[in-house]
A and B are shown apart, each in its own frame.
Chain A
């Protein structure tokens, strides 16, 4: 079974502080992992995917197959990073995405 776990419902930090949003997954094969972001009153949009190995808006995420994790990190949080973040998994050969429950990031000035 495919499962994505985001243990934190809310993460509150001050501007300039480092941020790490946790994501763990359960899947027997080689999954593709994603982070999606939803800003206030906006639609869900892709932030980054592990295969691209990009840094988007200062965020990075490394797939750790040993720990089955795909944590999202940013060294210095900005107020505009405040949003809902969802980790998602796509199984090999599957089209569908399985989402975690999401973590709300609140960055205070």
Chain B
């Protein structure tokens, strides 16, 4: 199967700072990448869908100015949590697919803790 790598796997940051999470497809070109957020013992909630070279499509209720998504190449998408607050602490997961109706491969997730 294809490999998707997230970095970092764990990050602690201070309130008010910004943190960037990377999602890379290591052995395939990802036309589409997805960013999810998962609260403890809850399901994955889709935050946004990004297609390479286009602006991300955000789900309802997700602040695009707070969660900046960039998908500048076919192998890399980044999620930047700006001016982070403790309530942004969560597990963020990305997935990547080659295109429509193709399997999405998941990264290992990033645990963000804002103190």
Contact = CB atoms under 8 A, between A and B. Distances in A.
Interface of A: 9, 32, 42-46, 49, 86, 95-102
Interface of B: 1, 4, 32, 34, 41-46, 49, 93, 95, 97, 100-101, 103-109
Contacts, number: 40
B57 to A, nearest CB: 9
Contact of A98 (B46, B49, B101, B107): B46
B34 A45 contact: no
Interface centre among B42, B93, B106, B108 (most CB of A within 10 A): B106
Contacts of A9: 41
A93 to B, nearest CB: 8
Given A43-B106, A43-B108, A44-B106, A96 B49 contact: yes
Contacts of A46: 103-104
B106 A99 contact: no
A86 B44 contact: yes
Given A95-B32, A96-B49, A100-B43, A44 B103 contact: no
Given A46-B104, A95-B97, A102-B43, 7 more contacts: A96-B46, A97-B34, A97-B104, A98-B46, A99-B43, A99-B44, A100-B43
Nearest to A97: B104
Contacts of A86: 43-44
